[in-house]
Chains A and B, each alone.
Chain A
Amino acid sequence: DTGVSQDPRHKITKRGQNVTFRCDPISEHNRLYWYRQTLGQGPEFLTYFQNEAQLEKSRLLSDRFSAERPKGSFSTLEIQRTEQGDSAMYLCASSFTGGAHYGYTFGSGTRLTVV
């Protein structure tokens, strides 16, 4: 297993366009997390799944954002009608039940630039 994989690594889009990111977690992990990191800041929690169920969403996750994890495997994060303020690194992490207490593994992220 090669760890948490995120695709694409970089995405440049025009304001108003929709974008979708994919995360493939470590196969044995049943929890999957999405975080957003802006330049010079720590990651901020967006949402998490346990298996296919989305159990928590941050207030940061506006109605333009939607995340799915069909069949409890990979996950997608879609941003509709992108805005310049959406420019950030989007990080995915996975873990066993018990979450951070059992060690998250983060992917290398998808860097989104909205022009």
Chain B
Amino acid sequence: QQQVKQSPQSLIVQKGGISIINCAYENTAFDYFPWYQQFPGKGPALLIAIRPDVSEKKEGRFTISFNKSAKQFSLHIMDSQPGDSATYFCAASKETSGSRLTFGEGTQLTVNP
């Protein structure tokens, strides 16, 4: 049962461009939506996260947009850099379930110089 669906599977952008990754979830009980960045051979690292009571959160070049009614959220990476090339995962959790994370399938981002 896939509760978090992520798209696109892969994304290629030019340096300085905007990278946009989308996720949709099914379980309305989810109350925390993080994005993780993963480099080859490493574990996922928390990038930015949002709760459903806000519609947008920005940290540096990274912004999450959240649409509670549509059950969708997205990650925007502004001024994308080659060092941003990695796999990005959206996830969702609910505190009452011990905060175990349900991950999307991942997006492999390549930023060309």
Contacts and interface: CB of A to CB of B under 8 A. Distances in A.
Q: Which of A31, A48, A100 has the most CB of B within 10 A?
A: A100
Contacts of A42: 4, 6, 89, 91, 103-106
B82 to A, nearest CB: 22
B95 A98 contact: yes
B98 A43 contact: no
A74 to B, nearest CB: 17
Interface stretch (B37-45, B52-60, B68-76): B37-45
A99 B100 contact: yes
Given A40-B106, A42-B89, A100-B93, A108 B41 contact: yes
Nearest to A40: B106
A41 B101 contact: no
Given A42-B106, A45-B101, A48-B98, A99 B93 contact: yes
Nearest to B31: A101
A76 to B, nearest CB: 18
B46 interface: yes
Interface in A90-115: 91, 93, 95, 98-101, 103-104, 106-109
Interface in B56-113: 89, 91, 93, 95, 97-106
Nearest to A109: B43
A104 B41 contact: no
A111 to B, nearest CB: 8
A66 B15 CA distance: 46
Nearest to B4: A42
> Which among B41, B43, B46 has the greatest number of chain A C-beta atoms within 10 A?
B43
Interface in A28-56: 31, 33, 35, 40-45, 48, 50, 55-56
Interface of A: 4, 31, 33, 35, 40-45, 48, 50, 55-56, 91, 93, 95, 98-101, 103-104, 106-109
Given A31-B98, A99-B93, 18 more contacts: A42-B104, A43-B44, A43-B101, A44-B103, A45-B100, A45-B101, A93-B43, A98-B95, A100-B34, A100-B99, A100-B100, A101-B31, A101-B99, A106-B45, A107-B43, A108-B42, A109-B42, A109-B43
